[in-house]
Structure 1
Amino acid sequence: MAIRRRGGLNHSKLDQVVANARRDKEEREKGYRERALKMYPWVCGRCTREFNQQSLHELTVHHRNHNHDDNPLDGSNWELLCLYCHDDEHSRYNNAGLYGDDRPGNGTGTTHKAFAGLEALLKKA
């Protein structure tokens, strides 16, 4: 896209566009995604799919505690996940909030024991 004025290019306007683009790039690189991509290998932390420069847009930064404002410099709240695993993680998180967490060991599983008392019945027989 050339920026023109009558009689030719408007070089000062073009220089400003380029300067703004460079500044925006530097700001993005300070962001957590760019820091995470520099810190970690380009591999999904769940499915272990590897990424290259062409497919890197499919690799996302997941906040382990689901707080996007928690971005420690050491990256301890981040993990790189592909789009599919990231979507699955957030779906699980949302479902746990809606329906409760039913993973073993959290105390919210079923309490009915289908075979309770079976041993006593077998001893009587």
Structure 2
Amino acid sequence: MALAGLPAGAQASVQGTLFTTAVQTHVPAEALARVTSYVTLGSLVAVPLGQAAAGPLADRFGVSPTLWGCAAWAALSTGLVLTMRYDGSPGPETIMGCAPRCAAHDRSRISPAPPG
């Protein structure tokens, strides 16, 4: 069990770091708390849904294949995220029409404050 927990913990660390960085980079400061709360709510709602699906899947396919399928899904999704690069192509921030505001906001958050 502990051996299986190691890659799961590594995956959660990678996902958490990448997601938090993306949210703080692309969401304007005035919406950051609201977006974070909605994302957290969505994540917490997904947990019981996954738990509810695990029993029927284990009954249908067996416990071991279900666990291996979940492990493969976690490994595949983490691997796909790690292969992505941000190349400036249109994303949600440009589709929703806040790209100029978000870009200016991002620069102000990462640039040092002017002296005085």
- TM-score normalised by structure 1 residue count: 0.28
Greater fraction helix: 2
Greater fraction strand: 1
Q: Which has the higher contact order (CA 8 A, sep 6+)?
A: 2
